[in-house]
A and B are shown apart, each in its own frame.
Chain A
Amino acid sequence: MSAFWTLLKRDLLLQVREGGAVGTALGFYLVVVTMMPLGLGPDLNLLSRIAPGVLWIALLLSALLSLPRIFEADDEDGSLEVIATGDLPLELATAAKALAHWISTGIPLALLAPVLGLLLNLELSAYPVLVATMLAGTPAISFLGAVGAALTLRVRRGGLLLALLVLPLYIPTLIFGIAAISAATGGPSGFQASFLILSAISLFSLVIGPVAAAAAIRFQTQ
């Protein structure tokens, strides 16, 4: 298991040293959310009503930008092949890398969401719920995204294809993520049910993501 933490630690260190990716995702998130009132008009009532949806969709798009990097750099410099000769099963290695993506991208995006909520006039009472929901939902984005990143690893200009493959898989996360926040602001559904289902979806992708991603990588290094 120590190899798992070693890999996770290295990926996080690389994120800190190379920077860029996280900053770009955060900047993109900010810009996309800003575009919404400009496109829909500055009606605060409307904005506060659609805020959960806008925050979630923009978060998905921002996370999508950083997905290709999960495996790309390691594939280009040959690290991925050496990682494959380690004691650690490739499934756990992909899990470590997806986890690093969640920590370095998912968490910062989730923490930025309340700030952007201010721009959209989201009710103040919804803020703790917003952060909790996004923290519970974003693992699915990283772990299902890892599958897409692994599948398109050697595809030229794979980023667009990645979006096409992965976005439909995010629909359950999107639906229950928005439902959980809406519930806290007086929406029609119960908060607990949506939040638990959202967590269940994340746990499910925690299992299926690394296995599928490892299979896809094995097929491609051969």
Chain B
Amino acid sequence: MTKAAMNPQQSLTQRLANPTRFMELSGRVLPWLAAAAALLIAYALYLVFFVAPDDYQQGQTVKIMFIHVPAAWLGMLGYALIAVSSFGYLVFRHPLADVSAKAAAPLGAAFTFLALATGSLWGKPMWGTYWVWDARLTSMLILLFLYFGLMALRSAIEDDALAGKLCAVLGLVGVSILPIIKFSVDWWNTLHQPASVIRLDGPTIHPDLLWPLLYSAVGFSLLFFALHTKGMRNEILRRRLRSLTMAEVDRARTVSATAAAE
């Protein structure tokens, strides 16, 4: 009986060997990561509001760009992270990879949504309407749908391990079709609209605007990684709690079985 009770626990610790090291490391890094993100974003905002000049054409609305561009970049990075994690989970069976993919999905979706929201706020004064079927905005919207699909699939399947594997399959299918979607949306856009739409982040950018943008991009990226690390830590704790609960159930079952035998 004692052996039967011991066995699941042993495999439990085996399975958590790597996550344990991750928890230690991330616990030490996370405060620094979060502090650096806060400082950089604060400095970038200071530059944006007090140093950088307004655009002669766009006026103050250009300041939206300092949030919009990093958000769009992180929205895409989130999916790339999911794709890499999915590959790592399916090929190397590393449990941390699944934790990473799971934590990245809502973050990526949030930043994608932020990019869409800021894009449409910027569009109102520039285009006179909140939504224009601009190729970039449309691609971001479809990316948001892909995030929704991943999150919906994961929440629809109760078995965590199975949900992780199926989401990894979907993530890889998604990332292999994403370039085709991007290509087709660009193609569709040039087909239906003259290319005279003002680009939010054109190739020519004033250096006074470039530096704040760079600080903002790095600051938000650090924020993304801090949140991602925190999300992974939460997920690991949640899984630990569930394993402990299941071990408890096992123990109770063994005890009652022995009692019945006696």
B181-223 interface bits toward A, Cβ cutoff 8 Å, 1 = contact, 0 = none: 1011101100110000000000000000000000000000000
* B144 nearest CB neighbor, chain A only: A168
**Choice from A152, A156, A161, A212 contacting B173 with Cβ under 8 Å:** A212
**Interface residues of A, count at CB 8 A:** 30
A38 and B76 alpha carbons, distance in the complex (Å): 40
A219 x B149 contact (CB < 8 A): no
Check A172–B181 contact: CB distance below 8 A: yes
* B162 interface hit (Cβ, 8 Å): yes
Interface size on B, residues (CB 8 A): 29
Report the Cα distance A154→B157, complex, angstroms. Answer: 8
One of A167, A172, A215, A219 near B180 (C-beta < 8 A): A172
* Interface set, chain A 2-32, CB cutoff 8 A to B: none
Q: Which residues of B contact A158 (CB under 8 A)?
A: 156
Q: Is A176 an interface residue (CB 8 A)?
A: yes
- SS class, residues of chain B in contact with chain A: helix
Chain B's nearest CB lies how many Å from the CB of A207? 10
The answer to whether residues A168 and B149 also contact, given A151-B169, A216-B169 and a CB cut-off of 8 A, is: yes
CB distance from B194 to the nearest CB of A (A): 11
Residues of chain A in range 137-187 having any CB-CB distance to chain B below 8 Å: 144, 147, 151-152, 154-156, 158, 161, 164-165, 167-169, 171-172, 175-176, 179
Chain A residue nearest to B189 (CB atoms) is A175
Decide: A168 and B145 in contact? CB cutoff 8 A: yes
Q: With A155-B157, A169-B173 as given contacts, are A201 and B180 in contact (CB-CB < 8 Å)?
A: yes
Determine whether A189 belongs to the interface, using a CB cutoff of 8 Å to chain B: yes
On B, residues with C-beta under 8 Å from A are: 90, 142, 145-146, 148-149, 152-153, 156-157, 162, 165-166, 169-170, 172-174, 176-177, 180-181, 183-185, 187-188, 191-192
| 20 A-B pairs in the complex with CB atoms less than 8 angstroms apart | A144-B177, A147-B173, A151-B170, A161-B152, A161-B156, A165-B149, A165-B170, A168-B142, A168-B181, A172-B180, A172-B181, A172-B183, A179-B191, A188-B192, A208-B173, A212-B173, A215-B90, A215-B169, A219-B162, A220-B162
A215 to B146 Cα, complex, angstroms: 19
Known: A152-B153, A189-B191, A219-B166. 17 other contacts (CB 8 A): A147-B173, A151-B153, A151-B170, A155-B156, A156-B156, A161-B156, A164-B148, A165-B152, A167-B145, A168-B145, A168-B149, A168-B181, A171-B184, A188-B192, A208-B173, A215-B90, A220-B166
B177 cross-chain contacts in A, Cβ below 8 A = 144, 169, 172, 208
Residue numbers in A under 8 Å from B170 (CB-CB): 147, 151, 165
Q: Looking at the complex, which one of A151, A154, A179, A208 makes contact with B176 (CB distance below 8 Å)? A: A208
Most B CB contacts (10 A, CB to CB) among A164, A179, A188 go to: A164
Q: B180 to chain A: which residues have CB within 8 Å?
A: 172, 201, 204
Smallest distance from the beta carbon of A61 to chain B beta carbons, Å?
A: 16
Nearest neighbor of A218 in chain B, beta-carbon distance:
B165
Chain B residues with CB under 8 A of A171: 142, 181, 184-185
